[in-house]
Amino acid sequence: MWLATLILCTALGADAPSYTIEQIVFEHDGRISETILRSELGLNAPATLSESDLRNGQHRIRRLPFVLDADLSLKKGSKRGLYVLLITVEEAPRGTWLILSTPLQLTADDVFEGGDTTLSPPIPIPLYSWRWPIGRKALLQYTTPGFLNYGRFGIAERGVFSAGLSFPGNATPSTIPESGRATIPEIDFDAWRLDTSFDWRIRGDHWMAVSAAQMQGTASKLLIAGADDQEFDAQIKQARYQLTWRRNTLDHSIFTTSGSLLSMAIAREDEVRERFGQLEADNQSKLARFNSRIFRPLGSQSYIQMGGELQARWNRFDSQSTDLNGEPLGNYRQDHIHLDMGWGRQWLQQRIWGFTGDIRLGLTGSVRRSLSEQEDLYPDPNFTRSSLGLALTARSPKLLMQFSLIYTSTPTELYP
């Protein structure tokens, strides 16, 4: 329905007016350099600009990491017919509290519990992200859930350069909640990882992005992407093609997005995940006390993803399992189809005691099919697991809370 109305909008907008802008004025609280804002706006005065030009400029301002919102308005200029473009910028808050929760797991027929129905309580995971501008062009961000530190540095200059570094923190005791089968005293993330990216606005709405990652040890990757934003029917479309180099191989993928309605990614990655695989194996070795298996990714992963209100994703993982001494036990393939649908749109956005945000109800479901060459891997090595759940998300610029309830009908899998 809204699409039909948007078409009407477009019809009305056919004779959309243009404005002669003699001056551009920014109104903000001063933590962001005006040079950055002007550079990202991509508009100069004096000039005659259409509403579309102004909309695209606003769009570019809003993509800055320091900016929460930007509103435009026109004021009278020095002469009749001339306008001053006033851009009111709301800068992002310096800190954000996040409270996530592991899913509340309802299990119908747990083979390890002799058919009892089990219920695992959710574990809240508090995160705090702290952002602090450095000078007027740079931003430092720090996030920690306790067992891992994640820092990110960004600087804007004809684009945005950012670098992120994650490094180990204090180990956090945690348990696997499902039926209390095992307790994991600690999970260490024992490698640092450095991510860098540079989004460069070449001209207008044409973008170039380069990013690279290096993990302690050998793993590294380089990604080059081109992006092009086009406006259509009052929505922003973005097309992106990217190439990724990861040591011995080349990945390629195409992304297209259309506002919030649809995005799609088709990609295939073939890689030798030496260090990444080793890290996962290292972490899994700490879980091995109850399953005596280590899974090492063999290195191919394919996925199709659709985004927007409906998110669908298909992943295929191939891995090889070994015992604790590294002796191969067999190969293992897992197909994972995941659906996630946002529902109810934003239910609430009201300023209540300073809270501005929305509450959203989502439907989530997944089907996971595993094939194993090992007959002793699980009671049933080849199984299909399906689950369906509801997710409730409340968010505001300063707080995000996420809770979900998942019902698993065939939980014949060790990892919840």
Instruction: Enumerate residues 224-243 that contact another protein by CB under 8 A.
Output: 229, 234-236, 238, 242
Pick from 209, 262, 288, 339 the residue near another protein by CB under 8 A: 209
Burial degree of 121 (CB within 10 A; 0-12, 13-18, 19+): exposed
**What's the CA gap between 131 and 111, in Å, rounded?**
46
Report DSSP state, residue 93. P
Please list, residue by residue across 221-249, b when 16 or more beta carbons sit within 10 angstroms of its beta carbon and e when fewer do.
bebebebebeeeeeebbbebebebebeee
Pick from 267, 288, 341, 390 the residue near another protein by CB under 8 A: 267
Interface of this chain with another protein, residues 151 to 180, rule: CB under 8 A: 164, 166
3-class state of residue 263 by DSSP: strand
Beta strands across the sheet bearing 47-50: 47-50, 18-27, 82-91, 67-76
The distance of closest approach from Cβ of residue 113 to another protein in the complex, given in angstroms and rounded to an integer, is: 29
Please tell me the count of residues contacting another protein according to CB under 8 A: 88
Phi-psi region of 330 (alpha: psi -120 to 50; beta: other; left: phi over 0): left
**What's the CA gap between 153 and 410, in Å, rounded?**
44
What is the bridge-based pairing of β-strands 328-343 and 310-322?
A: antiparallel
Pick from 257, 322, 387, 404 the residue near another protein by CB under 8 A: 257
Interface of this chain with another protein, residues 42 to 101, rule: CB under 8 A: 51, 54-55, 58-59, 62-63, 65, 67-69, 71-76, 80-81, 83, 90, 92, 96, 98, 100
The distance of closest approach from Cβ of residue 289 to another protein in the complex, given in angstroms and rounded to an integer, is: 23
What are the CA-CA distances from residue 142 to residues 127, 147, 197 (Å)? 10, 13, 17
Site string for another protein, 351-390 (x = CB under 8 A): -----xxx--------------------------------
When asked if residue 404 is in the footprint of another protein (CB under 8 A), the reply is: no
Closer of 69 and 186 to another protein (Cβ): 69
Pick from 35, 170, 175, 346 the residue near another protein by CB under 8 A: 346
Closer of 110 and 199 to another protein (Cβ): 199
The distance of closest approach from Cβ of residue 327 to another protein in the complex, given in angstroms and rounded to an integer, is: 26
Closer of 181 and 336 to another protein (Cβ): 336
When asked if residue 400 is in the footprint of another protein (CB under 8 A), the reply is: yes
The distance of closest approach from Cβ of residue 362 to another protein in the complex, given in angstroms and rounded to an integer, is: 11
Interface of this chain with another protein, residues 125 to 144, rule: CB under 8 A: 127, 129, 141, 143
Pick from 12, 48, 354, 379 the residue near another protein by CB under 8 A: 12
Pick from 399, 403, 405, 414 the residue near another protein by CB under 8 A: 399
Q: What are phi and psi for residue 5, nearest 5 degrees?
A: -70, -35
Pick from 102, 120, 211, 321 the residue near another protein by CB under 8 A: 211
The distance of closest approach from Cβ of residue 127 to another protein in the complex, given in angstroms and rounded to an integer, is: 7
When asked if residue 199 is in the footprint of another protein (CB under 8 A), the reply is: yes
Are 390 and 90 in contact by the 8 Å Cβ rule? The answer is no
When asked if residue 217 is in the footprint of another protein (CB under 8 A), the reply is: no
Closer of 179 and 216 to another protein (Cβ): 216
Interface of this chain with another protein, residues 288 to 307, rule: CB under 8 A: 305
When asked if residue 255 is in the footprint of another protein (CB under 8 A), the reply is: yes
With tokens 């509450």, the residue in question is: 359
With tokens 């280590």, the residue in question is: 294
- The amino acid sitting at 66 is F
**What's the CA gap between 378 and 311, in Å, rounded?**
30
What is the CA angle 71-75-81, rounded to 5? 130
Report DSSP state, residue 271. -
